[in-house]
Amino acid sequence: MKNRMVKGIKKTLIAVAGLTTFGLADNPISSYHYLADPSAAADSNYFYILTDSDDPATSDPAKKDPTNGQWPYTIKALYAFRSSDMKNWTDYGIVYEAGREDEHVGDIWASGIAVDKNGKFHIVFPDGGGGGIGLIESEEIGGPYRNPVAGGKKLIGWGDAAITNCDGIGWCFDPAIFIDDDGKAYFTVGGGSSDSHPHNNNFILYQFNGSINNFDLSSKTNLSFSPNDGTNSMEASYIHKNGNTYYLSYSTTNLKIAYATSTNVKGPYTYKGIFMENPNINGQNINANNNNHHGIAKFKGRWYVAYHDRRLVQASEHPSSLGYVNPEPANHRSVSIDEMFYNADGSLQKLTYTNEGPEQIENFNPYKKYPALTSSKQRNVRSYTDWNKNDWNNGIAAKHVLTPLASKESWIRVSGVDFGTEGAKSFSVVAASIENGNKIEIHKGSASGTLAGTCNLQKTSGWNDYAENSCDMTGLTGLVDQLFIVFKGSRDSTMGILEWSFTCSGSNCKVSEPQKQTPFGGVAANIPGIIEAENFDIPGSGYANKSYNEGDSEDQGAQSNGGTSYREGTGVDIYKKATGYIVGYNQENDWLEYTVNVAEAGNYTVFATVATDNETSGFTLSLDGEPLASFEPLSSFDIKGTSFDAFDTVQANVNIPSAGTHILRMTVTGAWFDVDFFAFAKGNDAKIEDVPAALPQMARFNASSTITYNVFDLRGGKVASFTVKNSDNVDIKTTVTNLVKRSGFYLLKPSHGGSVKRIAITK
């Protein structure tokens, strides 16, 4: 147990250390902007995040305070980001700025975004804290955005300038937009409290018309939830839908995110609890114990929540690119994202905040043109949005420009880059460079890692004069985990990078064809049947085809197997015991996947054999990403939970909706337990002896030879043994049945060194 705790402590120290500097951690998504109040949307190709600016951002230098070179604290702009792999994000810069397109908009606070089935983007935004709610739309995430409401009106505001008023709600801000499966669109607004709108009834919902440019006043619904349970709603209403259930989530007066559910988008909603605590990692608050805001969307079968925190402003190494000295944490937020999960009953699991962010779900293709600020992490860079009024009026989005602090260690990092088998031939970059000697280097692994090539930038006549630069590349083939685009020059902010791309050595510039994960041993496990925990799938190639997630690369179980890992190269901790192999050292967010073949749809009983001495250990099972069963915590089941050598069986009734091939995933939600195997029996409340189990095959040996079988129970205790000759006609199952005292699963280990087999005995 001591060794197990050492490894756990190591993981914890790594996580805590990540809070002290923004370093190479993937959260937050931008280290060169303060951003706040995210909302989220997704289509089949991209996940989108909309934020407001907490810099505060403005492109008007005349508004800077001449005494300190800083802008006054106002929130004036909306930023947009998108990702296809959930690791590398493209920053489109300021896509809408208060007062620029509509002189009647003073400030822009927390806003909501949605993308409809035709690919059009819709944003609802508040004009400060009481100026009303506006609507804009665009065909592209980067804009330009226009007000589609007749007469340029706001949705909510005052007098003839709006469709209706704020209806007495305490805080007329924090709008969000939701498009249902049937294409109907809604928006919510509200916060605070008043005599007419208490804390569990302070959000208003309206339904848009079919064109999403107006709404019927009669559609107004006060979104209420009960019981109040003392968790008062404050702001940030947000609706998402999973299956047939609508989830209304919101920020509470005690600075957490709670949620309520309903089978009708208009409610009434039933309060369910808190699913986002005030952001913290390993007990250390990363949010200055202040407010939060969130956006939720499903992308490629997984659910994600974007939120803001204060980890960037609280970092010990404060990014110099932000240009602030000892800024006030409350007013300088940063936007992060993590994957979220549901329990089998549809309730939301509490969000686990991470430094790493979501795992990458597909390889990055370098053979496309990318806006300069496309990266998974950045260091010592700035950016600005270059507005051209004529371009904007002609339907061309503003340029977003990367400006490196090139006299320092300045770079952007791109993760999981797939250069294919032929590899990259050259790198091209469109840039303005107002001094000689500026250059860009491409490195693998780190900012000072293997050099693949150098592009010397030609000097241009000014900031609006962009030139294309190209340079040869060597050594960029296959999958590069971390690629660094490094900026070097004698002075800061003398180059402006607009876009970059790679070209390949071949004629088609194809990236590698990803290989799917495959069953261990080449054959899918059967349901009903047994699934050995250590026999998780063989991973495929690329980031979309992982079959496991392990917190580090050290296999502590290898020492129990003569120093050899059972699954070499995975780092999954697999122990060899007398009864076979087990998976141990399970930590939160570790997971294993198994390809299974389900014989028929219907009800099943799922079993798991586990050992633990920790009351908070637990895990969930999902099938193709949908919740299947929850064993959390394990202490709530009828198990002894006293030792890692005392295995007990837990079980749950589940329904599998379809036959055929599926992916079963075991996800650790509470650390410190060992798991031996999973088993499925047909029907609810089945017994473990009802699970079909393959009998061991008799070995071929000389007629005079004998073989001894040892019989173990699931705890590893030897309960019997028997010896047979090759000439004997022995029924293995009958022999074991006569030797053991009770029904259940038993383990058969042959003395000749064959594999351990499980056998179900009914007495």
> Whole-angstrom Cα distance, residue 93 to residue 697?
65
> Looking at the predicted structure, is the pLDDT value of residue 65 above 80?
no
Q: Which of 554-558, 647-651, 654-658, 695-699 has the highest mean pLDDT?
A: 654-658
| 223: three-class secondary structure by DSSP | strand
Q: How confident is the model at residue 682 (pLDDT cuts 50, 70, 90)?
A: very high
Averaged pLDDT, 392-397: 82
Give the pLDDT of residue 458: 96
Give the pLDDT of residue 138: 96
Strand locations in 243-324, DSSP E?
245-252, 257-262, 269-276, 280-281, 284-285, 294-299, 302-309
Give the pLDDT of residue 589: 82
649-659 per-position pLDDT tens digit: 999 999 999 99
Give the pLDDT of residue 646: 80
Q: What is the 3-state secondary structure (H, E, C) of 493-531?
A: CCEEEEEEEEEECCCCCCCCCCCCCECHHHCCEEECEEE
Give the pLDDT of residue 63: 61
738-761 per-position pLDDT tens digit: 888 887 777 777 765 555 677 778
Give the pLDDT of residue 4: 43
Query: Lowest-confidence range among 16-30, 275-289, 296-310, 313-327?
Result: 16-30
> Whole-angstrom Cα distance, residue 116 to residue 44?
11
> Looking at the predicted structure, is the pLDDT value of residue 543 above 80?
no
Averaged pLDDT, 206-222: 94
Give the pLDDT of residue 721: 85
> Looking at the predicted structure, is the pLDDT value of residue 293 above 90?
yes
Give the pLDDT of residue 212: 96
Pairing, β 660-670 against β 591-598: antiparallel
> Looking at the predicted structure, is the pLDDT value of residue 545 above 50?
yes
Give the pLDDT of residue 559: 86
The sign of the dihedral angle between the CA atoms of 206, 209, 211, 214 is: negative
- The reported pTM is 0.80
> Looking at the predicted structure, is the pLDDT value of residue 435 above 50?
yes
Question: 538 is written with which tokens?
Answer: 């063989």
> Looking at the predicted structure, is the pLDDT value of residue 696 above 50?
no
Average per-residue pLDDT for the chain: 86
Give the pLDDT of residue 176: 97
> Looking at the predicted structure, is the pLDDT value of residue 66 above 70?
no
Question: 279 is written with which tokens?
Answer: 């952001």
> Looking at the predicted structure, is the pLDDT value of residue 27 above 80?
yes
Give the pLDDT of residue 568: 86
> Whole-angstrom Cα distance, residue 121 to residue 182?
17
Question: 30 is written with which tokens?
Answer: 């931008």
> Looking at the predicted structure, is the pLDDT value of residue 166 above 70?
yes
Averaged pLDDT, 252-265: 94
> Looking at the predicted structure, is the pLDDT value of residue 273 above 50?
yes
More confident: 186 or 232: 186
358-378 per-position pLDDT tens digit: 999 999 999 999 999 999 999
More confident: 261 or 170: 261
More confident: 578 or 2: 578
Q: How confident is the model at residue 24 (pLDDT cuts 50, 70, 90)?
A: low
Query: Lowest-confidence range among 64-78, 457-471, 578-592, 615-629?
Result: 64-78
Cα–Cα–Cα angle for 435, 438, 440, nearest 5°?
Answer: 155
> Looking at the predicted structure, is the pLDDT value of residue 386 above 60?
yes
> Looking at the predicted structure, is the pLDDT value of residue 71 above 80?
no
> Whole-angstrom Cα distance, residue 308 to residue 37?
6
Give the pLDDT of residue 144: 93
Averaged pLDDT, 48-68: 70
Residue 605's H or E segment, with its range, is strand 602-612
More confident: 17 or 476: 476
pLDDT > 90 in the chain, percent: 57
> Looking at the predicted structure, is the pLDDT value of residue 579 above 90?
no
